[in-house]
Amino acid sequence: MRNTPILMTIAVLGGTGKEGKGLAYRWAKAGYRVLIGSRTPEKAQAAAVELTNLLGGKASIEGASNLTAAQCADIVALAVPYAAHRETLETVKDALNGKILIDVTVPLVPPKVTKVQMPPAGSAAQEAREILGEGVQVTSAFQNISYEHLMQDGPVECDVLVTGTSKEARSETLKLVAAAGLTGWDAGPIENSVVVEGMTSVLIGINKQYKTTSAGIRIIGVQVPAQKP
C-alpha cells in the first residue's frame, strides 16, 4: 500500500464500528485523508485518535458527525448496521449528490444472521439507490471481508466483488480496493449486489460451524486484474 499523501478525502460513515474502522485504517495507511463519521461525533473523534495512534501518528484521520463527514468527502463509504441504513442515508442524502457512495452494509436481521434475508428493494445497495436517487452513483463492496483481516497488515486471502450503478463508479471503487491492499473484481451492475450481500450470511454460518472468523471468497480460473490505487 502506498504511504505518500493523496488529496482525495474518504468519509467512512459508521466508522466507529468494526468494519468501518478496518476500512478507515487501511485507507489512512495508504495515504488518504479519512473522515470517520458517527451519529455521535465524540465517538468518531475517539476512533480517529485510536487509529492515528495505531499508525504511529503518520495518518490524516479526523472524526465528525455523519453529515459533516459526508459533506467534506470526495467519496463516501457506508458501513453501518442494516438497522441504521435508511436513517443514515436520509440524513446525508443531500451531501452525497454528485458523489460515489460505497455501500458496505449487509441486510442482516438478528438473531438469524446466518439466514439470507434480503429487503424488498433486492439488496441494501439497491435500497440505497432508491433512497438517494439518480444524483448519486452507488457501488457495493467489502461485505465479505472480516474486520480481523482489515486490521492486520499482512496479505488478505479474500477477494472483493464490486457491483455498482455504472462502470465508472465501479472502476473508482476498485481503485480503493487496491489501495486497501486487496484484490477486487468488477462483478457487474448493482442488481448483482444481492448475491454478494447474501454471501455474507453464508460465510457467517461457515465461521460459526467451523469455529473460525476468516471465511472468505476467492475468484480462481482467471488472471488477477492489474489494479492501481
pLDDT given at position 227: 67
Tens-place pLDDT, residues 192-218: 999 999 999 999 999 999 998 888 999
pLDDT given at position 225: 77
Q: List C-alpha distances in Å: 214 to 95, 96, 141, 147, 153.
A: 35, 33, 17, 9, 15
Q: Which residues contact 216 (CB under 8 A, 6 or more apart)?
A: 144, 145, 146, 149, 156, 157, 158, 159, 203
Residue 7 has pLDDT above 80, yes or no: no
**pLDDT, mean of residues 43-58:** 95
pLDDT band at residue 4 using 50, 70 and 90 as cut-offs: very low
pLDDT band at residue 190 using 50, 70 and 90 as cut-offs: very high
> pTM of the prediction?
0.94
pLDDT band at residue 2 using 50, 70 and 90 as cut-offs: very low
pLDDT given at position 44: 97
7 φ/ψ angles, rounded to the nearest 5 degrees? -75, -25
**pLDDT, mean of residues 35-48:** 97
**pLDDT, mean of residues 103-126:** 95
What's the chain's length in residues?
Answer: 229
Query: Domains in the chain, ordered, with CATH?
Result: 9-209 (3.40.50.720)
Lowest mean pLDDT among 72-86, 177-191, 204-218: 204-218
Tens-place pLDDT, residues 84-106: 999 999 999 999 999 999 999 99
Residue 172 has pLDDT above 80, yes or no: yes
Q: Which residues contact 23 (CB under 8 A, 6 or more apart)?
A: 12, 15, 77, 79, 104, 142, 150, 180
